[in-house]
Amino acid sequence: MVAFLLSNCSSNSLTIVKPNGHYGAPQSIVTAPPSAHLVAAAQSKPKDRHNMPVYTFGERNRVVRTTAYTCSEDDHIQYGSASAIGTPLKFTNRVRSAAADWSFYPMGTVFKIKGESQLYVVDDYGSALTGTGTIDIYKPSRDWMNAWGRRNVEIVVMQWGSLERSAEVLSKRVHHPHCRQMYANIQRLRGGKSTTAMR
C-alpha cells in the first residue's frame, strides 16, 4: 500500500497516513520492556523528580520515562506543527520528533527505542520536561498520544546533539523560565563542572 504524506495539524507536518486517511490503530503501539540488567543498574544512579535515573553523557543505553504529545494540545497549539527549532514535527516510518530538556538530551540527539525501527530526533522541548530525563514523544493525533500515555522504555543514543547549538538557541529565549534553566545547566556542563545534567 502506498503511504501519503499528509498533515494532521498543519500543512508542514510530516505525518504518514494510510491511503484511506487513517493512522491505523493506536492500540497497536507496543514497546519492549527494558532489559533487566539496565533496570538493575539504574537503581544505584541519582534520580530526577520522577524517581528515574540520571545518566552521564557517556552512557548510551538508558531506561527512560516517556510521555507523548501532539500539536493540537492547548500548550502546543500556538506553535502548530513546528518544533522548537522551527522545523516541521516529524512522524514518518523512518524519523520521528521528540522533546526533552536540552541539557539532558541536547538538540539534535538521535535515539532508538528498544523494539522499534524508527529513529527519534530531539528537535523540541517543553516546560514540564525541564530538570528531568523524561522524553516526550511526538504523536500525530490525540488518539495516538493517549495510546502511548506514559511508559518507561529502553533507549540507545545513536548520536549526541550539540550543547553549543542548544545554548545558542536557548540564549535568545532566556525570558522563559524553562529556557533560562536549560541554558544555565548547559553552561555548567560546558564549563566542565559536571558530566550529568542538573535535576
Distance CA(6)–CA(25), nearest Å, equals 17
pLDDT, tens only, 37-72: 999 999 999 999 999 999 999 999 999 999 999 987
Q: Where are the domains of the chain?
A: 4-190
- Over pLDDT 70: what percentage of the chain? 78
- pLDDT tens digits along 8-22: 454 344 444 443 344
Query: pLDDT: is 28 or 189 the higher one?
Result: 189
d(CA 123, CA 103): 13
DSSP sequence for the chain:
---EEE-SSSTT-EEEE-TTS----GGG---PPPPHHHHHHHTTS-B-TTS-B---TT--EEEEEEEEE-TTSTTTGGGTTB-TTSSBPEESSSEEEEE--TTTS-TT-EEEETT---EEEEEE--GGGTTS--EEEE-SSHHHHHHH-SEEEEEEEEE---HHHHHHHHHT-TTSHHHHHHHHHHHHHHTTS-SS---
* Those residues with Cβ within 8 angstroms of residue 72's Cβ, 6 or more apart along the chain or in another chain: 8, 9, 141, 142
With beta carbons less than 8 A apart as the criterion, state whether 70 and 142 touch. Answer: yes
How many residues are present in the chain? Answer: 199
Q: How many CA atoms lie within 13 A of 122 on its CB side?
A: 31
Q: Is 92 exposed, middle or buried (0-12, 13-18, 19+ CB in 10 A)?
A: middle
pTM of the predicted protein model: 0.84
Average pLDDT over residues 82-102: 94
Q: Are 149 and 132 contacting, i.e. CB atoms less than 8 angstroms apart? A: no
Q: Match 528515574 to its residue by C-alpha cell.
A: 52
CATH 2.40.40.10, applies to 4-190: yes
121-138 pLDDT, tens per residue?
999 999 999 999 999 999
